Structure 1
Amino acid sequence: MPLKMEFELPNPPTDGITNVTFSPVPGSSHLLVSSWDKSVRLYDTTAASESASGSQLVSYSHSNAVLDCIFSDENHTFSAGLDRTLQTYDLAAQKQSTLGTHENAISSIEHCPSLSIIITGSWDNTLKIWDPRQHYAVGTYNQLNEKVYTMSLSGERLVVGTSNRKVLVWDLRNMQFAEQRRQSSLKYQTRCIRCFPNKQGFVLSSIEGRVAVEYLDTQQEVQQKKYAFKCHRLKEDGIEKVYPVNAVAFHNIHNTFATGGSDGFVNIWDPFNKKRLCQFHRYPTDISSLSFSHDGKKIAIAVSAVLPDEPAEGEEPSPKRDYVVIRHVSDGETQPK
């Protein structure tokens, strides 16, 4: 039977989906999903035919909404959120344990394989570094003075987006000070930051339908290459509606990237030639998170309202379900032209 181009995963979360992330292990089809329903779910996204839609392998819970989740390898995951705790789960042993806590919600988690550490960013204005083998924090860094909204790694460099449109760049090998402190080139609140796989820069999205392509090298001739562009805007009845760009995900091989917005669209962009490569069909509500598989042949799309729509007076709120789509993508859709 033919392979399905796009399919939904079974048993989706019952509330807003906060993150989807594919395993970083080559050849793996495992996907981790976190949600406001307090759950973290592991799926096998293999669909061999029209009748197959992947399967849920594991689910575990927090005591409050889960805001982020990551793999460190094929058998270990980390998750955190409004319960202020960093949890780890051993998938082979099916054992959940707590590494530690922050004083406020943990919004972002990253894993640095070369240093074998986990990094958490919190609304308590701190970063913490954890040794997962020892189950404790090896460092707390409170020089941010702002809430952490989003983070991404570029090798041993950590790019952090905070409240008040600040962007900080740290070298994880020397955390005594931030290497760079920048103001976002976008005028409105940062929603998502993701680093280029080639480690040259990062993409930053905002709540105001804009994306910025930035470079880490501070030399003037490199900084002159940075640019920003409008996206996820729709004209309806002659009025342009502007939507938040909630999600950014890079293709590991081509260094192109996808964006997902509250307009329900997913776009794939060629940052080198500054053009859109393709746009998928419109989904029924916001795109809250995106992730390409390690080989770049699949993309996971979280179709989930980021903020509930306020119904007009006298109207019933429209029911919107939350679900995850796995879509097969081709080089024609993801390769620079």
Structure 2
Amino acid sequence: MSLFGASTGFGAGGFGAATTDTHNPMKDVEVTSPPDDSISCLAFSPPAMPGNFLIGGSWANDVRCWEVQDNGQTVPKAQQMHTGPVLDVCWSEDGSKVFTASCDKTAKMWDLNSNQAIQIAQHDAPIRTVHWIKAPNYNCIMTVVASADRGLIVYQLENQPSEFRRIDSPLKHQHRCIAIFKDKQNKPAGFALGSIEGRVAIHYINPPNPAKDNFTFKCHRSNGTNTATPQDIYAVNAISFHPVHGTLATVGSDGRFSFWDKDARTKLKTSEQLDQPITACSFNNNGNIFAYASSYDWSKGHEYYNPQKKNYIFLRNATEELKPRNKKW
């Protein structure tokens, strides 16, 4: 029986009695040989590839590939290096290549079959993100860019890519992450935007009723409610949408992940608190595995950095916990 099947105890506390282990309070599966420095990005292989492979980039200047077996175990397969921290990774449509973006101002294409990487781009500053877009018929016809001045620019990618709309940020504080969501016809419909203020905005591009359909919600905050017990507020480090249900995961500097149903405006689950921030997350292509990375996010500066602290990547069964609900929050 597959460990990732719905009938197993994988990722649901089914590995035994309660534990005081704070690095893995959810008792999820640990990925073998994680990076030696903070993990900046995770990406699962596309549907065209048989099985599941996970790519992760880190501030140790490396990008690693693991095979995720049916029993939940992970096998390190290959590794490539940049001369600066790796900030983002993505897969080609057929899964034969991985693209990497780095603080060394370059982007590389990594051929997994030959295990060779070549430089494909050179910029004047670090490259923050990299994405694969199918052509000539684009799979994703929209992209959204969040700028340093808290503005948002939406681009349409059909035919000749061009600026579609500029949007004032629905959030008051610095943007941290952004993710596009699709409608029931599998077309881009809007985006979720996370900030350092422990808040996420759900924004539709062409909503029937903008005042009603667009909204924000608080997340990744402590339970303090008054001056005697003030509320701690943490950054939303990453957002990922479930590929089947359209529900979403957020991960934060508070060391927790949360699952949400944006349509029902319902929180589905919040994890126990890990002993360090969660910096990245990703769903596999059929949505039954949720990967998340535990490592320092520098939200408290250099004085809180502990080079002896181990970094982790965990795998969790996402089959049941991400199913939509009907309850309103």
TM-score scaled by length of structure 2? 0.83
Q: 1:233 to 1:318 in 2, by over 3 A?
A: farther
Counterpart mapping for 1:140-289 below 5 A: 155-173=140-158, 177-198=162-183, 199-217=188-206, 221-222=209-210, 224-235=212-223, 238-289=229-280
Q: CA deviation at 1:336?
A: 3.2
CA contact under 8 A between 1:214 and 1:223: conserved in structure 2?
Answer: no
The aligned counterpart of 1:104 is 125
Whole-angstrom distance in 1 between the partners of 2:118 and 2:306: 38
Which residue identity lines up with residue 201 of structure 1 in the other structure? Answer: G
Asked if 1 retains the 8 angstrom alpha-carbon contact of 2:289 and 2:316, the reply is yes
Please state whether the residue corresponding to 1:60 is helix, strand or coil. Answer: strand
User: Is the Cα–Cα contact under 8 Å of residues 201 and 217 in structure 2 kept in the other structure?
Assistant: yes
**1:36-51 aligned within 5 A:** 36-48=59-71
Which piece of structure 1 moves more, 83-92 or 166-175? 166-175
| CA separation of 1:176 and 1:157: change in aligned 2, threshold 3 A | closer
Q: Which residue of 1 aligns with 2:106?
A: 85
Check 1:28–1:202 CA distance in 2 against 1; reply closer, same or farther (3 A cut).
farther
User: Identity across aligned pairs (percent)?
Assistant: 29
Deviation at 1:71, TM superposition (A): 0.5
Runs of at least 5 residues in structure 1 that lack an aligned partner in the other structure:
118-153
Decide which moves more: 78-87 or 324-333: 324-333
- Which of the pair has the greater relative contact order for Cα pairs under 8 Å at 6+ separation? 2
Count of aligned pairs: 295
Assess, with a 3 A threshold, how the Cα gap between structure 1 residues 112 and 316 changes in structure 2: closer, same or farther. closer
**Which whole-Å deviations, capped at 9, do the CAs of 1:79-137 have from their partners, x for residues lacking one?**
011111110011012111111211110001111123489xxxxxxxxxxxxxxxxxxxx
- Structure 1 residue 222: deviation in Å? 4.3
Give 3-state SS (helix, strand or coil) of 1:106's partner.
Answer: coil
Q: Deviations over 1:3-58 (max 9, x none)?
A: 3432111111001111001112255311110000000101112251xxx6311111
Q: 1:175 to 1:320 in 2, by over 3 A?
A: farther
CA-CA distance at 1:171 after TM superposition: 1.2
CA distance in 1, matches of 2:127, 2:296: 21
Q: 1:14 to 1:253 in 2, by over 3 A?
A: same
Question: 1:86 touches 1:100 (CA, 8 Å); kept in 2?
Answer: yes
Structure 1 residue matching 2:179: 3-state secondary structure: strand
Quote the Cα distance in structure 1 between the aligned partners of 2:57 and 2:151: 26
Q: Which moved more, 1:315-324 or 1:208-217?
A: 315-324
Which amino acid counterpart does residue 173 of structure 1 have in structure 2? E
Q: 2:31 is matched with which residue?
A: 9
Distance 2:321 2:82 in 1: 40
Q: Secondary structure at the match of 2:149?
A: helix
Greater Cα shift, 155-164 or 264-273: 155-164
1:71 is aligned, of 91, 104, 126, to 91
| Cα 1:221/1:301, change in 2 over 3 Å | same
The structure-2 alpha-carbon separation of the partners of 1:36 and 1:318, relative to structure 1 and needing over 3 Å to count, comes to: closer
- State how far apart, in whole Å, the 2-side matches of 1:240 and 1:84 are: 39
Paired position in structure 2 for 1:322: 311
- The offset of 1:174, in angstroms, is 5.4
More strand by share: 1
Unaligned stretches of 5+ residues in structure 2: 4-9, 12-27
Return the offset for 1:185.
Answer: 0.3
Q: Do the aligned partners of residues 29 and 197 (structure 1) sit closer, same or farther apart at CA in structure 2, a change above 3 Å counting? A: farther
Question: Contact conserved, 2:2 with 2:70, CA < 8 A, in 1?
Answer: no
**1: CA distance between counterparts of 2:199 and 2:274?**
20
